A and B are shown apart, each in its own frame.
Chain A
């Protein structure tokens, strides 16, 4: 029983954190808001150089072959810097889905090396998400049809943009026609693949939410130290302290739930669905409180376009209902607690 990260995992996380601190600054994020694609090809290449895009690509295809567990810390790091979420669709969800196709599927040799090298973006549609992230730049799109998985090139689909409250999110309605030629997994395999993709998508959101919550705490602590009223820093007032402390408490108890869920997903644990839903529910709850209390601590400045707080708060609001809203995940958790024969008391936290 080891419930902590190895030095190696922590060092990789810290290295990516320094990278994003330099590269994905709030100024850079605002600059991309105004561009037609909202994305930077140069940045994507630099992220690939760091190894991030190859984390779920097997070594045989030029990746690192780390698997799901490695995304525990990395999703948090990306959330902290509000890295656009399309990175997870390509590098985690699509890479894992393609890797899970029948062995020898030509798509593996064709796409996995390109994903790891940063020369292909793959968009992932899912029945729980009405719109598709970053479909406009996707070299390949993975699309569901009656449980099957279909793969289409960008030129074979029509995309039309929908504007999000978060200008970093690029969302598209995708219109396409399934055919035998586009099908890469039948309904039996496909249903399993979509279920795993949903869990990974929800885990990516949970991890990002935990990183975003930490960022909003840090911004609020900094602001409350600088801003003075009644001759004292705002942060010296107990009422202000408690607003931020309440967020810190929720975050402290959301993180280990996400780590356990990622581990369960990596292990193929039979209870992974309920663990994933639990992780997303509590991460989202903590993040919503972070937004609310963060804005309150910033006062009127918290409601301005000028404050960088909006970058992180809007990401929280935008991601909140993706990969299953609260209702979806509450139903999965309730199915476990109220309907399964599974024991619930002490001693059953870990599968053995």
Chain B
């Protein structure tokens, strides 16, 4: 137990801070779930890449800096502190990237990772289907082998970023006779392939953050398959582990929200203190964001010492998603009658970004595996309780 940064870590923090101060756009970008905002965010990914900051944990030859997980946490802290733009390629860099490192061939790594790091390819995910949500093993979209290709037919849904993304990764049934998690294969395909139709779905906030994707005899080369045919479930579970575990939601994001919530409360104290439960909720938010940070440092430290991430990653996903809900709920209660006003309303007392965050927080307990599924995983795999 030694909870102090090394000189090297402090120097790295300083370098990140200086670089971000010089490069983070002064005006906030338009939401990446719009055509204009998507390209603004792609340009920001290119800027990050030019400073070798797009994915600091990746090896140098792939555009990264070979940082360990503690340095990654430091990078994230500086990133959120600088209020830098959201990462439009999070499906790629945080989920597919680590999966390719573990399961991809050298040729695949060389083909996909540098372009991903540079923002040249923005990735969408293709897990869910209309009848395979929480029950992901019910996937039906087929990928039938014909010579050097898989021919894909069927439909994916809730594909984040698919409206404007370049590529999609996902899970497909390659053995038509197979059941459940057998006979599934992990494939990568360009969204401009002939036979692909993307139909946008509007979020609660009116933007098109996700989409349905239809496949009509789409030909996918065999060298776009990750790992062996039929090994898709295993690969997908590893990807989902990254998603629920360390990478998708770094603690700095919630610490930034908690600090903003404290500031919001301080600015509106006279109004907020009429409800005595608000002050406690604000205090709890700060403590919980700290607890999530400490837990993540502890996991990163354990992984750095050769440990592995297990089913406890499901506790992370529950903790941050419910913390995010509580924080935004508290902000709405502080804002009172102004809370319902959209960000476009530019008047004193209106802080519409809290409303945007509040709407977004409603999804956190659902995506990346609904929290009920996470609780089953905790009970069965972490605590050893009997399956239903």
Contact = CB atoms under 8 A, between A and B. Distances in A.
B18 to A, nearest CB: 14
Contact of B384 (A221, A252, A256): A221
B5 interface: yes
A233 B386 contact: yes
A217 B318 CA distance: 18
B291 A238 contact: no
B287 A259 contact: no
A260 B256 contact: no
Interface string A325-341: 00000100110011000
A257 B319 CA distance: 14
B270 interface: no
Contacts of B302: 3-4
A347 B78 contact: yes
Given A221-B383, A225-B385, A259 B1 contact: yes
B386 A256 contact: no
B295 A256 contact: yes
Given A69-B1, A350-B5, A352-B10, A345 B291 contact: no
A278 interface: yes
A263 B294 contact: no
B383 A1 contact: no
Contacts of B287: 257, 278, 281-282, 333
Interface stretch (B101-109, B186-194, B230-238, B258-266): B258-266
B315 A244 contact: no
A69 B3 CA distance: 12
A224 interface: yes
B380 interface: yes
Contacts of B121: none
A345 B1 contact: no
B136 interface: no
Contacts of B318: 249
Contact of A2 (B2, B80, B266): B2
Contacts of B5: 1, 350, 352
Given A3-B1, A333-B283, A345-B256, A338 B262 contact: yes
B319 A238 contact: no
B344 to A, nearest CB: 27
Contact of B385 (A69, A221, A330, A347): A221
Contacts of B305: 2, 4
B252 A347 contact: yes
B375 A263 contact: no
B40 to A, nearest CB: 24
A36 interface: no
Contacts of A249: 315, 318-319, 378
Contact of B378 (A2, A248, A346): A248
B266 A338 contact: yes
Nearest to A262: B1
Nearest to B294: A256
A75 to B, nearest CB: 14
B340 to A, nearest CB: 27
Nearest to A72: B1
B3 A3 contact: yes
Main secondary structure of the interface of A (DSSP, over half): helix
Given A1-B70, A253-B295, A337-B286, A238 B6 contact: no
Given A2-B301, A242-B379, A252 B388 contact: no
A307 interface: no
A260 B294 contact: yes
A122 interface: no
Given A281-B287, A333-B283, A334-B283, A241 B380 contact: yes
B315 to A, nearest CB: 4
B3 A260 contact: yes
Interface string B265-304: 0100000000000011011001110111111011011100
Given A260-B3, A346-B77, A349-B290, A1 B9 contact: yes
Nearest to B320: A253
Given A5-B1, A260-B294, A337 B386 contact: no
A147 B18 CA distance: 48
Contacts of B290: 257, 278, 349
B278 to A, nearest CB: 12
Contacts of B252: 346-347
A244 B286 contact: no
A15 B256 CA distance: 42
A337 B295 contact: no
A235 interface: yes
B388 A238 contact: yes
Contacts of B251: 346
A241 B379 contact: yes
A1 B266 contact: no
A344 B372 contact: no
A6 B387 CA distance: 35
B312 interface: yes
B301 A347 contact: no
B385 A244 contact: yes
Contacts of B365: none
Contacts of A233: 386
Contacts of B378: 245, 248-249
B81 interface: yes
A254 interface: yes
B197 interface: no
A244 B383 contact: yes
A235 B294 contact: no
From B1, B307, B382, residue with most partner A Cβ within 10 Å: B1
B376 A252 contact: no
Interface in A255-284: 256-257, 259-260, 263-264, 278, 281-282
Given A224-B385, A248-B315, A352-B10, A344 B259 contact: yes
Contact of B292 (A232, A241, A253, A263): A253
A160 interface: no
Nearest to A261: B294
Given A244-B383, A346-B293, A349-B297, 20 more contacts: A1-B5, A4-B1, A4-B302, A236-B385, A236-B386, A238-B372, A241-B376, A244-B385, A245-B383, A256-B294, A257-B294, A259-B294, A282-B287, A330-B283, A338-B262, A338-B279, A345-B256, A346-B251, A346-B256, A349-B293
19 contacts: A1-B4, A2-B301, A3-B3, A3-B297, A238-B372, A241-B379, A245-B378, A253-B292, A256-B291, A278-B290, A330-B283, A337-B262, A337-B282, A338-B266, A338-B283, A343-B259, A345-B80, A346-B256, A349-B297
Closest 7 CB pairs of A and B: A241-B379, A346-B252, A345-B259, A3-B301, A346-B77, A256-B294, A245-B375
